[in-house]
Chains A and B, each alone.
Chain A
Amino acid sequence: MSILIENISKKFGHFQALSPLSLDISEGEMIGLLGPSGSGKTTLLRIIAGLEGADSGRIQFGDRDVTNLHVRDRRVGFVFQNYALFRHMTVADNVAFGLEVLPRKERPSRAEIQKRVQHLLEMVQLEHLANRFPSQLSGGQKQRIALARALATQPEVLLLDEPFGALDAKVRKELRRWLRGLHDELGFTSVFVTHDQEEALELSDRVVVMSNGNIEQIDQPGTLYASPNSRFVFDFLGNANVFEGKTDAGVWRNGQASIALPNGAQQEDGQLYIRSHEFFVSTEATAQADLPLRVIAINPIGAEVRLELAPIGWQSNDVWEVDLPHKAFDKNGFEKGQTVFVTPKAGYFFAHDAKQPVEIHWSITK
């Protein structure tokens, strides 16, 4: 079922949790609401569910206007951050709950309910735990039961609040893949909230990036990564190093450091955002960039080695992070305390007052 959100806003006291915002979700889509805490993503999710009333605006499921519909009549599946399993009920009773509270006319027979519960437990691969209590389950198991419970009434919309937040890394990966598979198989429309960019990019058809009650950008993960449209999105999607530069005779300069303007770039002051893997690292400055840095830490992370670098003779608010493939790292054999020079391959330039960045590439001259 498609979801239409129009001009929804919400205030808590004096706090503007959501500025009027609109969002159009098509049937069968999986949408990730991504943002830092306090960005309004959970509030938006709760408004879609009907757990929270909006101050203005309209929500439509398919052709049905549900703005004033009580949560119990919206028929959405909702998975809570801490699962909110009923502590005094067994796993099977938890899953059966949604069916047992149906009005008598719509309620399946006892045997039918039992069969459906059995089927749902098989689907989440936990049929052997039917008679356990929630306190006896692991986090990942609770998560799956919460999902089974939400899906028992066959909702066409599934909403998930930080579904994997409380799980350890390995279980999280596994459940993510499993949820995506389930979504594709059953064809419901899903909206989930997360503060983990990797999770949002991996799982969603489209990602909605939020901050301070506003939507910053809505795009497919690939597009979002390739062309973030604001400083916020850039910062939030992470691992970008910022070079604050003033133009001076064809270069951006900051203290002793400088980066050559690529061909055709405008002569403007501004900030250059460069992702951590878009660098060469060498022991000498190149024609294109003179960025001296001291190696303060070397951390192997999976397939790459991350260098943490402190500027020498120029200013940056943060430590720079540069990722190198092991091969490149081994060839050079950098050491802690050593001075290195980095050369950007590609980056995004925000002119002084601009909200939107300009993408830049250097034609490499070694």
Chain B
Amino acid sequence: MATHLTAANVRPRHKRVLPGLSLSLGTSLLFISLILLLPMTGLVMQTMDMGWERYWQVITDERVVASYKVTLWAAALASIFNGFFGLLLAWVLVRYEFPGRRILDALVDLPFALPTAVAGITLATLYAQNGWYGDVLESLGIKVAYTPWGIVLAMAFTSIPFVVRTVQPVLEELSPEEEEAGMTLGASDWSVFRRVIFPALWPALMTGIALSFTRSLGEFGAVIFIAGNMPYVSEITSLMIFISLQEFDFAAASAIASVVLMASLVLLFAINIWQARYLRRLHGR
């Protein structure tokens, strides 16, 4: 992939005016090759060594499959929740002026700024039996900490900003005239929202949810403290890799990691392609 990208191979459309193409592109390519692509070779070699049968056996192990299911379900629920909550946050931040709006806006980024391990131990303590929330929930008969719900909670916490920050700019740039056009045609606020505003936000919302989902699939630090990590019930896939490593089973760790890596790369490419397509439709070709 990278070999196609050398500076010599780059065909200028017209003579370049600005300086620094070879320097900047060269540095970038070198960096990406060393930091991103080279490390992949280790994984490829490790999995090639182990043979197909053993590979298949590792990645379809019952406990590992259970971890896929838990991870996927929890990530799906967390990102759907963030779809709703993120849309609400973005709407309130863009559309309304109220005391504390700036603070709220800043707080949205807390999950990005706060180290995941800190988030993990805090959520675990809060939702544990004797924690502030755990107490209340216990009396309602709900258990969150050390169950799959804890995983959903931790994933949702760490990926809240994705939806807000992808929807917010689109919402800001929506043309007021389209809304007004909807109103002059007799549509109620709800109709205008549902038929005019929401369809315009939908692609950004989907992107945000997909990003949130991708991040949740890989989340580790925040999850392991609250998950309880019970085999077959609340172990996430990242943890399975981690456990294999602690047992010095590099082959097993690599096999599981290759599944996770492929899933996230496919997601990443899908998101990028989807984004490019909807942008093209909106702005004409």
For window 31-61 of B, CB contacts with A under 8 Å fall at none
Q: Does A7 contact B (CB under 8 A)?
A: no
Q: A84-B177, A88-B282 are known contacts. Are A51 and B191 too (CB-CB below 8 A)?
A: no
Q: Of the 9-residue stretches A70-78, A266-274, A319-327, A358-366, which lies at the interface with chain B?
A: A70-78
Which of A50, A75, A86, A98 lies in contact with B196, CB distance below 8 A?
A86
Asked if B3 is an interface residue, CB under 8 A from chain A, the answer is no
Q: Is the CB of A86 within 8 A of B181?
A: yes
- CB closest residue in chain B, given A159: B184
Q: Is A97 an interface residue when CB atoms closer than 8 A count as contact?
A: yes
Q: How far is the CA of A82 from the CA of B180 in the complex (A)?
A: 12
Within 8 Å by CB of B177, from A82, A135, A149, lies A82
Chain B residues within an 8 Å CB radius of A135 = 281-284
Q: How many A-B residue pairs have CB under 8 A?
A: 79
CB distance from B258 to the nearest CB of A (A): 39
Given contacts A88-B200, A97-B195, contact A72 B181 (CB under 8 A): no
- Check B185 against A98 for contact (C-beta < 8 Å): yes
Chain A stretch 43-101: residues in CB contact (< 8 A) with chain B: 49-51, 70-78, 80-82, 84-89, 97-98, 100-101
- The answer to whether B186 touches A153 (Cβ under 8 A) is yes
- State whether A101 touches B191 (Cβ < 8 A): yes
Chain B residues with CB under 8 A of A97: 182, 185, 187, 195
Interface residues of B in 133-175 (CB under 8 A from A): 175
Return B178 CB to nearest CB of chain A, in Å.
5
Please, how many angstroms separate the alpha-carbon atoms of A73 and B178 in the complex?
17
Query: Which residues of chain A (323-347) have a CB below 8 Å from chain B?
Result: none
Contacts of A75 in B (CB 8 A): 186
A102 at the interface (CB under 8 A from B): yes
In the assembly, what is the distance between CA of A112 and CA of B12, in Å?
A: 55
Specify which chain B residues have a CB less than 8 angstroms from the CB of A283 in the assembled complex. none
- State in angstroms the CA–CA spacing of A101 and B196 once bound together: 11
Q: In the complex the two chains form, what is the Cα distance from A69 to B187 in whole Å?
A: 14
A84 to B184, CA, bound (A): 12
Interface of A, secondary structure class, is loop
> Whose C-beta in chain B lies nearest to the C-beta of A94?
B181
Interface SS of chain B:
helix
Q: Contacts A51-B183, A97-B185 given; indicate if A80 touches B177 (C-beta within 8 A).
A: yes
Contacts of B130 in A (CB 8 A): none
Q: Nearest Cβ in chain A — how far from B239, in angstroms?
A: 42
A89→B184 CA distance, assembly (Å): 17
Question: Shortest beta-carbon distance, B47 to chain A, in Å?
Answer: 44
Check if B186 sits within 8 Å of A84, measured CB to CB: no
* A150 adjacent to chain B (CB < 8 Å): yes
Q: Are B184 and A150 in contact, CB atoms less than 8 angstroms apart?
A: yes
Chain B: minimal CB distance from A48 (Å) = 11
User: Are B178 and A87 in contact (CB-based, < 8 A)?
Assistant: yes
What's the Cα separation between A50 and B183 when bound, in Å? Answer: 10
Shortest CB-to-CB span from A129 to chain B, Å, is 14
What is the distance, in angstroms, from A315's C-beta to the closest C-beta of chain B? 47
Q: Is A232 an interface residue (CB 8 A)?
A: no
Q: Does A133 contact B (CB under 8 A)?
A: yes
B188 on the A face (CB < 8 A): yes
With an 8 A cutoff between CB atoms, is A109 at the interface?
A: no
User: Given contacts A84-B181, A86-B178, are A101 and B283 in contact (CB under 8 A)?
Assistant: no
Chain A 168-212 residues near chain B, CB threshold 8 A? none
Q: Residue A136 at the B interface, CB < 8 A? A: yes
Interface check B231, CB cutoff 8 A: no
Which A residues have a C-beta under 8 Å from some C-beta of B? 49-51, 70-78, 80-82, 84-89, 97-98, 100-102, 133, 135-136, 149-150, 152-153
Name 20 interchain pairs, CB-CB below 8 A, sorted by A. A51-B184, A72-B185, A72-B186, A72-B188, A77-B184, A84-B177, A84-B178, A85-B178, A86-B196, A87-B282, A88-B199, A97-B182, A97-B187, A97-B195, A98-B186, A101-B186, A135-B283, A149-B185, A150-B184, A153-B186
B interface residues with partner A (beta carbon < 8 Å): 175, 177-178, 180-188, 191, 195-196, 199-200, 202, 281-284
Pick the 5 closest A-B CB pairs, nearest first: A135-B284, A84-B177, A98-B185, A101-B187, A78-B184
With A135-B281, A135-B282, A135-B283 given, can you name 15 additional A-B contacts, CB distance below 8 Å?
A77-B184, A80-B180, A82-B175, A84-B175, A84-B178, A85-B181, A86-B182, A86-B195, A88-B202, A89-B199, A98-B185, A101-B185, A101-B186, A133-B281, A153-B186
